Amino acid sequence: MSSEAYPKVYLYRRVVQAKLYIDEHFSEKLDLDAISDEAYFSKYHFLRLFKKIYGKTPYQYLMSVRMDRAKILLEQGNSVSEVCFLVGHDSLTSFTGLFKRKTGLSPSQFQKQHQVRKADQAQTPLKYVPNCFAEFNGWTENSNFEEVQD
């Protein structure tokens, strides 16, 4: 079946383009109404199709992208206030509250947890590798990997 033949291909392309636009511009002040206008002539129809495809409204999806990106930026060692503004939030208090509601941890607790895990992976990497793979690769005979730590 040709890609042009499947159901309402032009609608899918518009909604996917809107989703990719959010993925790229999540840190900006996005006018989701404008995205709807750009993507499809009926805002109601656009919102319905977006939610059917992604299980979230465009606004809920934007919030989830910001949350996912915040986790990555925290893991990379950025400060909580930097991350807050880098992902497009204006208020540190509301960002911290939202982050805790979504993950169960404050941003700083999340960052600390990641740092502990990362340090553990660097110091004792064999804990994370099934032994069969480690033995096949000869890693069990040379389990001191300290020279590769930062």
Partner 1 sequence: MIARLSHASIYVLDQESAYDFYVNKLGFKVHTDAPMGPDMRWLTITPPEQPDLEITLMPIKAGLMYDQETADALTTLVKKGTFGFGVFECKDIYATYEELKAKGVEFKKEPTEEFYGVEALFKDDSGNWFSLSQKKEAPQS
The residues of the shown chain that bind partner 1, judged by CB under 8 A, are 1-3, 6-7, 9, 12-13, 15-17, 19-20, 52-55, 121-122, 125, 128-130, 133, 136-139, 142, 145, 147-149
Contacts of 15 (CB under 8 A, 6+ apart): 39, 40, 46, 49, 50, 53
Nearest approach, Cβ of residue 40 and partner 1 (Å): 14
Among residues 32 and 65, whose Cβ is nearest to partner 1? 65
Nearest approach, Cβ of residue 32 and partner 1 (Å): 18
* Cα 133 to Cα 104: distance, rounded to the nearest angstrom: 34
- DSSP 3-state of 135: helix
Among residues 94 and 121, whose Cβ is nearest to partner 1? 121
Nearest approach, Cβ of residue 147 and partner 1 (Å): 7
Query: Hey, what's the torsion of the CAs at 60, 85, 91, 94, to 10 degrees?
Result: 40
Among residues 3 and 93, whose Cβ is nearest to partner 1? 3
* Cα 63 to Cα 71: distance, rounded to the nearest angstrom: 13
Among residues 85 and 133, whose Cβ is nearest to partner 1? 133
Nearest approach, Cβ of residue 145 and partner 1 (Å): 6
Element housing 76 (H / E): none
